[in-house]
Amino acid sequence: MKRSQKQQFKIRKWSVFLILVCTMGLVLWPNRLNNGQYTINPIVDDKYSANSMSALKSNISPQNKFAETLDKKLQSENYIGTALIVHHNEIILQKGYGEADEKMHRDNDASTLFQLASIEKSMTAVLIMQQIESGKLSFDTKLSDYYPNVVNANRITISDLITMTSGLSQRIQPTTFESEEDNIDFSAVHAVKIGEPGTGIGWSYQPVNYRLLAGILMKLTNKTFAVLLNQVFNNTYHLNVRNYQDFINSKHRSIGYDNSYDKAYSENQVVYNRETGTGNVAMTTGELYHFYRLMIDKVIIKPPSQLWQTRTGETYAAGMYHEGKYLNAHGILPGFEPTVVISNNGQDAVILLSNQYYKNHSFQPLARELFTKMTAIPTK
């Protein structure tokens, strides 16, 4: 039966409408879950977009005159490492400085792996938040539910550990390493009281807080921390977090140096292995930025405001210092110093992953200076 002209017009009109709806859906739905696997904005036209995974893996020369001034500043400060600088969600610079391995004549670049040191604590905090969101923990859960013999365990909460206001410290470190479980049990046995829990008064940066959080995660999931970290961050979100063994065997690894290339730090696996949940993984600059965006964009956890809640008068929570409009994270290991300064919305960031660290020298002030100069530029 032939359709009338009116019917044909109506069919064409609805066809155009459906095409427009589908097109808008692709534009307005940039963050997609495919079989449980997340991809940041897979459809982007700008090859320098901070939402582009290919861009986050690429060496990107200075993209404007301002980026050129940042590049010159990094060079004048004799920076060694890789720098990623994002401004208004655009990568304006991702570049290596100095050598990743002086003996092999291999330069730092966007593919170079660096130890993250204490920045890993944010990942431990995210894993804890996932357990809270699933109802298996709460911020008020007591440490005594898992480690009853730790001093003040019946008064210390998950929130106290996240904000490092538990009043605990660990002054004796293990000299051998058997397993992650043994390592954390050692921390529990050697935890000592240095203050009253929960008040925020006498806050002290003590890694034992996050080792105990890692232990709680292991008890909850019946998995080693390494397995849990790999399942969540690598299998699901493809962040390519490398454990220490994968790091030292990678062709992209960096060597940690003291104050010159003549002073490379020797490998000490015990030092790294005992940092369960507190700082023994490696990433590239782009991969680390991706991790922060997963948090900020509410993908890997729900709105992170609860996780980021600090104690009155303090700024530390979940592996970061919360300083008004931006977040700051920093770490130190022999020969490595990672620094992150990132806006609360993730649109501006300075990430400096350095394979040089020595006493009385730090690139952290440089990262802050670059971020301050960049964010002082008015939005177009």
Q: What ranges in the chain are assigned the alpha helix state H?
A: 5-28, 53-56, 65-76, 121-133, 158-162, 180-189, 208-221, 225-229, 244-248, 269-273, 285-296, 364-375
Q: How confident is the model at residue 33 (pLDDT cuts 50, 70, 90)?
A: very low
Question: Band of the pLDDT at 16, cuts 50, 70, 90?
Answer: very low
Distance from chain centroid for Cα 124: 10
Give tens-digit pLDDT for 200-247.
677 899 999 999 999 999 999 999 999 999 999 999 999 999 999 999
Task: State CA 55 to chain mean position distance.
Answer: 18
Confidence of residue 178 (pLDDT cuts 50, 70, 90): confident
> Which pLDDT value is given to residue 368?
97
Per-residue pLDDT at 276 = 95
Q: What is the pLDDT of residue 7?
A: 52
**Range of weakest confidence among 31-35, 83-87, 297-301:** 31-35
pLDDT score of 176 more than 70? yes
pLDDT in tens, 320-345: 999 988 999 999 999 999 999 999 99
Averaged over 300-309, what is the pLDDT? 95
The pTM of the whole model exceeds 0.85: yes
What's the rounded mean pLDDT across residues 96-108?
A: 98
pLDDT at 42: 39
pLDDT, residue 177, reads: 85
Instruction: Return mean pLDDT, the chain.
Output: 89
